[in-house]
Amino acid sequence: MNRTFAIIKPDAVAAGNIGGIVNLIEKNGFKIIAMRMQHLTRKEAEGFYAVHKGKGFYDELVVFMTESPVVLLALEREDAVAKWREVMGATNPANAAAGTVRKLYASSIGRNAAHGSDSDENAAIELAYFFRTSELN
């Protein structure tokens, strides 16, 4: 068993797709360890995406992620990082496979409905960024 960090992004929350995405999470065998709705501050979004600072889409990404509330999740299952990326589908919904979160719910590469950690190492960093240790037991 290992863990990954997921975000249901502002576009998906605003469109009423929290339930659809949580259903996909559960149907795919993830245990939800922690889950919280939160309206990110600019500082929180900038810190979370610091690795992308300087890229052309960084400012747009920070504005988007702070426009309205998100849902933050800690997910657990075997091979959690790779499996959640598979369930989300490709970053660009135009390339996402049928039945994936992004094919079903995303509208563009920027407004792409969900986030998932890209490695076990980053999952640990991202989980610790948003959840206290006591929430992850």
Binding site for ligand CMP (CB under 6 A): 52, 57, 60-61, 91, 109-110, 112, 115
Question: Residue 32: beta bridge partners?
Answer: 75
Amino acid at 135: E
Give least dist CB 132 to ligand CMP, A.
22
Q: Which C-beta is closer to ligand CMP: that of 57 or that of 129?
A: 57
Q: Which C-beta is closer to ligand CMP: that of 56 or that of 137?
A: 56
Under a CB-based contact definition with an 8 Å cutoff, are residues 52 and 58 in contact? yes
Out of 83, 85, 102, 115, the active site residue is 115
Is 52 tagged catalytic?
Answer: no
Give least dist CB 81 to ligand CMP, A.
12
Give least dist CB 25 to ligand CMP, A.
16
Which amino acids are annotated catalytic?
Answer: 115
